[in-house]
């Protein structure tokens, strides 16, 4: 996948990091420090919350940390995008692909407040769908490949999956996205990497 991304997409907008830590912590500094973007750590950070991929089998994982406007559609135009995608680095054939979108809302009220036509859950689902559709159109993700996706509010510790999808239009329900888009999406802050072929959203 990495080779295909580098072949067809602007290389300066895609930064790859290969890791095989037992814990892979992904953070987005954008709202905290706009001089920093997506960063990867092998442990949780005190100053910022993370999405954690638990990786007890030390599977080698590539994370494509998207820069701004990483998915161009035409001159000066680009697709909506999520924060990053992750996938195993040593595998051919059937692998998992994970898309991650985060919002650093301070509490549940902020996460699910609809203000000035801004609906975080629906926007986040839209960004995941747009990213996956774009990468399928570029043949980076195969048409029949199921994609896993995390919608994360890293600062929230309570289960917010069911609440999140009550704010999303009906055609973007969990079940419909599996059937129509082959995207298995969950509102959560972590996943378990089981192997190069299996990942489980927690």
Catalogue the E-assigned strands of the chain.
14-19, 23-28, 38-41, 51-54, 61-66, 72-74, 77-78, 84-88, 98-102, 147-152, 183-187, 190-193, 199-201
Q: What is the pLDDT of residue 92?
A: 67
Q: What is the pLDDT of residue 83?
A: 96
Q: Tell me what the mean pLDDT of segment 136-159 comes to.
A: 93
Could you tell me what percent of the chain has a pLDDT over 90? Answer: 76
Q: What is the rounded distance in angstroms from the CA atom of residue 107 to the CA atom of residue 128?
A: 22
Q: What is the rounded distance in angstroms from the CA atom of residue 162 to the CA atom of residue 194?
A: 25
142 close to 93: Cβ distance less than 8 angstroms: no
Confidence of residue 51 (pLDDT cuts 50, 70, 90): very high
Q: What is the pLDDT of residue 34?
A: 77
- What's the mean pLDDT when you consider all of the chain? 93
DSSP 78-130: E----SEEEEESS--SS---EEEEE---SSHHHHH--BTTB-HHHHHHHHHHH
Residue 10 lies in domain:
2-201
Task: Render pLDDT for 56-82 as a digit per residue (tens, 0 to 9).
Answer: 999 999 999 999 999 999 988 999 999
Confidence of residue 179 (pLDDT cuts 50, 70, 90): very high
Confidence of residue 163 (pLDDT cuts 50, 70, 90): confident
Domain count, the chain: 1
Task: Render pLDDT for 77-124 as a digit per residue (tens, 0 to 9).
Answer: 999 999 999 999 976 678 999 999 999 988 888 888 877 667 889 999
């Amino acid at each position: 996948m990495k080779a295909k991304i580098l072949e067809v997409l602007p290389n300066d907008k895609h930064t790859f990091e290969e890791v095989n830590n037992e814990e892979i912590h992904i953070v987005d500094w954008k709202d905290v420090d706009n001089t920093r973007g997506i960063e990867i750590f092998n442990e949780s950070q005190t100053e910022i919350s993370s999405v954690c991929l638990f990786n007890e089998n030390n599977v080698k994982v590539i994370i494509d940390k998207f820069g701004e406007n990483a998915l161009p559609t035409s001159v000066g135009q680009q697709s909506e995008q999520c924060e990053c995608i992750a996938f195993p680095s040593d595998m051919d054939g059937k692998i998992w692909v994970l898309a991650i979108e985060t919002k650093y809302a301070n509490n549940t009220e902020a996460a699910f407040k609809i203000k000035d036509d801004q609906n975080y859950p629906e926007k986040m689902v839209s960004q995941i769908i747009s990213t996956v559709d774009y990468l399928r159109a570029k043949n980076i993700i195969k048409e029949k490949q199921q994609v896993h996706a995390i919608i994360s509010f890293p600062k929230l510790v309570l289960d917010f999956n069911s609440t999140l999808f009550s704010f999303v239009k009906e055609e973007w329900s969990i079940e419909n996205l599996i059937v129509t888009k082959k995207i298995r999406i969950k509102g959560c802050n972590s996943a378990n990497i089981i192997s190069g072929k299996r990942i489980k959203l927690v």
